[in-house]
Amino acid sequence: MITIQELLFNRKLAKTCKIKLVRHKDNRRDLYNLYRTDKVEFLAYQNSQKKDVFNGVDYIVSFIGEEGFLSRFIGVYKLTGKEQIADEHFEYQMEEVKEQFDDLKERVIIRWENPISWHQWIKNEMEVLEIHPGLHYKQFTDYSDFILNFDELKEIVTKQYRDWKKMLSATKGIYLISDTKTGKLYVGSAYGEEGIWGRWTRYVSTNGHGDNKTLKELIASDPIHGNNFQFSILMLLPRTITADEAIKKEQLFKNKLGTNSFGLNNN
């Protein structure tokens, strides 16, 4: 068994320091998405605590909680200061230790022991279950339980991750693109031979617009606007569906979500 302690100490995290393992899990917020899209806001969330849970701590090893006991490593942070705000909560100042640990971030998945306690001293050994390829690798689990940021989709397509390619190529479907900057939505359908994989590959190769008129205009005015897009699947379609049948289903979702009147669809 390889433990997270072995990985950290082998990379010169000092055993003599006071170190806590911290698992962030909040049913009210998608913390993984917050971490990926708004690092400043995520760090503000991490650094603000109601109790003085990091009193006397030199470093925290930070994780984001996933399904069950799974926890994804997102970095080592050195505590540099603390301020108590009007007896209500504590604000910590932290600096990320990047040099030794940057290439492990988001790749290492551990089993979190004693899930009731979200912060534990490093002496509590925890097993490394997986070290994923790719800096931001997110494993495919089910068609209905993911939202991909555009940079995640680009990595998946560019590096041809086998689990994603296999599953997205195997089905056709109705998908949703959410513009996190404006809140507007775009509904599309994938009914070609390569299924959803083939259609989403086109978005990657066109910097986010996928040949859609309105999305093209957004990208033309701001070449990095596609970084605001999130991709998800609304409905799976049978492999034998015709183009006309798929477009009818697409139109149904456009009507339900009002994407022609208030969103990014233009037909």
Which CATH number do you get for residue 242? 3.40.1440.10
Where among 102, 131, 160 does a domain terminate? 131
Where among 76, 100, 131 does a domain terminate? 131
pLDDT in tens, 151-169: 999 989 998 888 899 999 9
Euclidean distance between CA atoms 102 and 90, whole angstroms:
27
pLDDT in tens, 177-203: 999 999 999 999 999 999 999 999 999
Between 221 and 107, name the one with better pLDDT: 221
- Beta carbons within 10 angstroms of residue 135's beta carbon: 12
Euclidean distance between CA atoms 111 and 128, whole angstroms:
7
Enclosing H/E stretch for 20: strand 19-24
Position 122 in a domain: yes
123 and 173 housed in the same domain: no
8 and 113 housed in the same domain: yes
Task: Dig out the tokens for 160 from the structure.
Answer: 């041809």
Where among 96, 131, 166 does a domain terminate? 131
Amino acid of residue 210: G
- Residue with tokens 């990014």, as numbered in its chain: 264
Judging by DSSP bridges, how do beta strands 48-49 and 89-96 pair with one another? antiparallel
Contact of 143 with 171, CB cutoff 8 Å: yes
Q: Residue 135 pLDDT more than 60?
A: no
Task: Dig out the tokens for 33 from the structure.
Answer: 């998405």
Task: Dig out the tokens for 64 from the structure.
Answer: 């984001």
Q: Which residues pair with 49 in a beta bridge?
A: 90
Average of per-residue pLDDT across 103-109:
88
Euclidean distance between CA atoms 131 and 165, whole angstroms:
20
pTM over 0.75: no
Which of 63-72, 138-147, 156-165, 215-224 has maximum average pLDDT?
Answer: 215-224
Position 57 in a domain: yes
Domain with 205 in it: 148-257
Residue 2's pLDDT band (cuts 50, 70, 90):
very high
87 and 160 housed in the same domain: no
121 and 153 housed in the same domain: no
Of 193, 196, 224, 192, the closest CA to residue 209 belongs to 224
158 and 111 housed in the same domain: no
Distance of CA 3 to the CA centre of its chain: 24
Sign of CA dihedral 244, 246, 248, 254: negative
- Residue with tokens 């070609």, as numbered in its chain: 192
Contact of 260 with 250, CB cutoff 8 Å: no
pLDDT in tens, 75-95: 999 999 999 987 779 999 999
Q: Residue 204 pLDDT more than 80?
A: yes
Give the single-character DSSP code of 127.
B
pLDDT in tens, 238-250: 999 999 999 999 9
174 and 62 housed in the same domain: no
Q: Which residues pair with 83 in a beta bridge?
A: 91
9 and 126 housed in the same domain: yes
Residue 136's pLDDT band (cuts 50, 70, 90):
low
Q: What pLDDT sits at residue 137?
A: 60
115 and 178 housed in the same domain: no
100 and 171 housed in the same domain: no
Position 56 in a domain: yes
pLDDT in tens, 44-63: 999 999 999 999 999 999 99
Domain count, the chain: 2
Position 18 in a domain: yes
